[in-house]
Amino acid sequence: MSHNDNNGLFRHIPSVDEVLKNPAVQSLLDKIPRVLVIDAVRGAAAQIRDDIKSGLLRTPPNTEPRNHLMREAVTRAANMARLNNRPNLRRVLNLTGVVLHTNLGRAVLAKTARQAINEAASGYSNLELDLQTGKRGSRYAPVEELLTGLTGAEAALVVNNNAAAVLLALGTLTKGKEVIVSRGQLVEIGGSFRIPEVMAQSGARLVEVGATNKTHPRDYRNAITSETALLLHVHTSNYRIVGFTRETSIAELVSMGQEFNLPVMSDLGSGSLADMVSLGLPGEPTVQEVVRDGSDVVTFSGDKLLGGPQAGIIVGKKKYVERMKKNPLTRAIRIEKFTVSALEATLRLYLDPPEAMHTVPTLAMLSAGRAELEPLAAGLRNKLTATAGDKATFTLVEISSAVGGGALPTAEIPSWAVEVLPWEMTVSELASGLRKTEPAVIGRLQDHRLLLDVRTLQPGEEDALVRVLTGVLRGGAAG
Ligand SMILES: *Cc1c(COP(=O)(O)O)cnc(C)c1O
């Protein structure tokens, strides 16, 4: 067929109106907004024009060009309309084994926390109404008592995230004066959250002391002047300095703070209420311990090891927390009702610590042992071999999962994975295909293999995983 003949197809491309009148396209309008269907019909026409131009689209022999192009336009428009109608934020199956994956939304909420959000969203609530007195109440009241009870602190406040908590605390407590911090604790969390930059934003002036690997109490002592407003301790949550090291402890800072009448603040980052050692993980100072050591202010995230919604939790001495509550910035970084509801429900689970290990998904995933995960991985391998064993090799392998979320960076948690070695596509083609399925699947790429760590697969997700993975390996439009 000559180039010219192919070009002749252009005049047979159906118009937008003609495609819209097609019954198959009409039936799409029951479920998909008209504006998205029209976009899809236009997109399909543009694609058909491109494919004719490049020679990709031709009319098979003995076929009426007009009918052929109509069928093409309808099929393509229907697919595009369905894609246009998918939410942009959607479900992802996390097979990376990273329990607190910031790019995948960090903590999976407990069932009661999900129910609480639903309840808060479905009607009105006493968010800022005291039901006892009928007067205006505080939106922090539902979580304040739980936080002080669980941590032993005098007072509590919750803001949008921990970066905001650090900003608020530093701005309130220093008012442009100096903050002394160890060089070994100038943390960058990722997404450009750097302690020195947050300090600058808060108006506090940073005084760095010590060396990267060692900071002695005398280094802080020598830096204290009449301009000093605060001693800051930052938990090096996402890295460890090992070897020839010396960190001045919170207790040492607290006794120095008492001597010079200076408050001590601890940014804990992850801030766990549960003892990680009992989960077989490296020791992390718990919030309770840091409060007991005498920190005047402690900040930590709601959606890291705590396993709750995104939030920045501040606990500490009443006189400091009260000053923060009065700072106008607090209004700008306040939490919404969904955060209050989910945080309250999550904190309630910690009232029964042994149960929390099962009911808080973050803790349950972190505490799952290899013996518990092996049958899960073996079951998945068997199902995949049954549905797609002619397209890939599936092998059971022992690997290590990570905590993630900038917590416990050196912890390697023994886990099981299914290793996928595809026969008819590259591993990066497989990974790319899996990002486009419904739900999307994110695994771990390693040495031309795709590893599926079952630690982070949620209950009830296995069938969907088998379906979309089989679909991509078969080269069909999965999902
Ligand atoms: C994660 C982290 C933060 C930031 O917390 P977000 O809740 O992500 O804003 C601040 N400080 C430390 C030490 C952290 O680990």
Which of 120, 152, 123, 153 has the alpha carbon at shortest distance from 139? 120
- Model confidence at 2: pLDDT above 60: no
Cα 437 to ligand 1 centre (Å)? 32
Other Cβ atoms within 10 Å of 458 Cβ, number: 12
- Which pLDDT belongs to residue 260? 97
Tell me the pLDDT band of 5, cut-offs 50, 70 and 90: low
- Claim to verify: residue 59 and residue 149 sit in the same structural domain: no
- Claim to verify: residue 317 and residue 232 sit in the same structural domain: yes
> Ligand 1: which atom is nearest the Cα of residue 312?
7
- 475 sits in the region (left: phi over 0; alpha: psi -120 to 50; else beta) called left
Judge whether 479 lies within some domain.
Answer: no
Residue 473 burial (CB < 10 Å; 0-12/13-18/19+)?
Answer: buried
Mean pLDDT of 19-45: 95
Reported pTM:
0.92
Condensed to tens digits (0 to 9), the pLDDT of residues 403-458 reads: 777 677 777 889 999 999 999 999 999 999 999 999 999 999 988 899 999 999 99
Cα 310 to ligand 1 centre (Å)? 11
- Which pLDDT belongs to residue 478? 43
Distance in angstroms (rounded) separating the CA atoms of residues 200 and 167? 9
Which of 407, 200, 401, 403 has the alpha carbon at shortest distance from 300? 407
Residue nearest to ligand 1 atom 10, measured at CA? 269
- Claim to verify: residue 301 and residue 230 sit in the same structural domain: yes
Which of 307, 56, 321 has the alpha carbon at shortest distance from 169? 321
- Claim to verify: residue 142 and residue 57 sit in the same structural domain: no
Please report, rounded to a whole number, the percentage of residues in the chain having pLDDT higher than 70.
Answer: 95
278: domain CATH number is 3.40.640.10
Judge whether 478 lies within some domain.
Answer: no
- Claim to verify: residue 208 and residue 337 sit in the same structural domain: yes
Which of 411, 417, 419 has the alpha carbon at shortest distance from 366? 411
Q: Domain limits at 76?
A: 6-84
Mean pLDDT of 63-73: 92
- Which pLDDT belongs to residue 270? 87
| 301 Cβ inside 6 Å of ligand 1 | yes
Residue nearest to ligand 1 atom 8, measured at CA? 162
- Model confidence at 88: pLDDT above 80: yes
| 267 Cβ inside 6 Å of ligand 1 | yes
Cα 341 to ligand 1 centre (Å)? 21
- Which pLDDT belongs to residue 77? 96
Tell me the pLDDT band of 25, cut-offs 50, 70 and 90: very high
Judge whether 1 lies within some domain.
Answer: no
424: domain CATH number is 3.90.1150.180
Q: State which amino acid sits at residue 59.
A: T
Mean pLDDT of 351-360: 95
Q: Are 392 and 473 in contact (CB under 8 A)?
A: yes
The most confident of the ranges 195-209, 278-292, 332-346 is 332-346
Cα 189 to ligand 1 centre (Å)? 6
Distance in angstroms (rounded) separating the CA atoms of residues 221 and 253? 10
Judge whether 446 lies within some domain.
Answer: yes
Q: How many domains does the chain have?
A: 3
Residue nearest to ligand 1 atom 1, measured at CA? 269
* Alpha-carbon torsion (292, 293, 298, 301), positive or negative: negative
- Model confidence at 476: pLDDT above 80: no
- Claim to verify: residue 270 and residue 175 sit in the same structural domain: yes
- Claim to verify: residue 349 and residue 203 sit in the same structural domain: yes
Of the three residues 300, 332, 359, the one that is the final residue of a domain is 359
- Which pLDDT belongs to residue 193? 72
Mean pLDDT of 310-316: 98
- Model confidence at 1: pLDDT above 50: no
- Which pLDDT belongs to residue 239? 65
At 152, give phi and psi (nearest 5°). 80, 5
Query: Which of 201, 250, 301, 403 has most ligand 1 atoms within 8 Å of its beta carbon, as the pocket-test mutant?
Result: 301
- Model confidence at 162: pLDDT above 80: yes
- Which pLDDT belongs to residue 4? 46
Condensed to tens digits (0 to 9), the pLDDT of residues 129-151 reads: 999 999 999 999 999 999 999 99
At a CB cut-off of 8 Å and minimum separation 6, what does 210 contact?
A: 182, 183, 184, 216, 219, 248
More confident residue, 213 or 349: 349
Of the three residues 332, 359, 386, the one that is the final residue of a domain is 359
| 215 Cβ inside 6 Å of ligand 1 | no
Judge whether 420 lies within some domain.
Answer: yes
- Model confidence at 39: pLDDT above 90: yes
Q: How many residues does the chain have?
A: 479
| 235 Cβ inside 6 Å of ligand 1 | yes
> Ligand 1: which atom is nearest the Cα of residue 237?
15
Judge whether 299 lies within some domain.
Answer: yes
Q: Are 206 and 194 in contact (CB under 8 A)?
A: no
Cα 432 to ligand 1 centre (Å)? 30
- Claim to verify: residue 98 and residue 145 sit in the same structural domain: no
Mean pLDDT of 240-264: 88
Distance in angstroms (rounded) separating the CA atoms of residues 203 and 178? 9
Of the three residues 359, 393, 417, the one that is the final residue of a domain is 359
- Claim to verify: residue 312 and residue 341 sit in the same structural domain: yes
- Claim to verify: residue 395 and residue 331 sit in the same structural domain: no
Could you say which DSSP state residue 110 is in? P
Judge whether 165 lies within some domain.
Answer: yes
Distance in angstroms (rounded) separating the CA atoms of residues 65 and 63? 6
- Which pLDDT belongs to residue 6? 65
Judge whether 355 lies within some domain.
Answer: yes
- Claim to verify: residue 345 and residue 373 sit in the same structural domain: no
Residue nearest to ligand 1 atom 2, measured at CA? 269
Residue 43 burial (CB < 10 Å; 0-12/13-18/19+)?
Answer: middle
Please report, rounded to a whole number, the percentage of residues in the chain having pLDDT higher than 90.
Answer: 77
- Claim to verify: residue 173 and residue 304 sit in the same structural domain: yes
Tell me the pLDDT band of 278, cut-offs 50, 70 and 90: confident
Condensed to tens digits (0 to 9), the pLDDT of residues 173-222 reads: 998 899 999 988 887 766 667 888 888 888 899 999 987 778 889 999 99
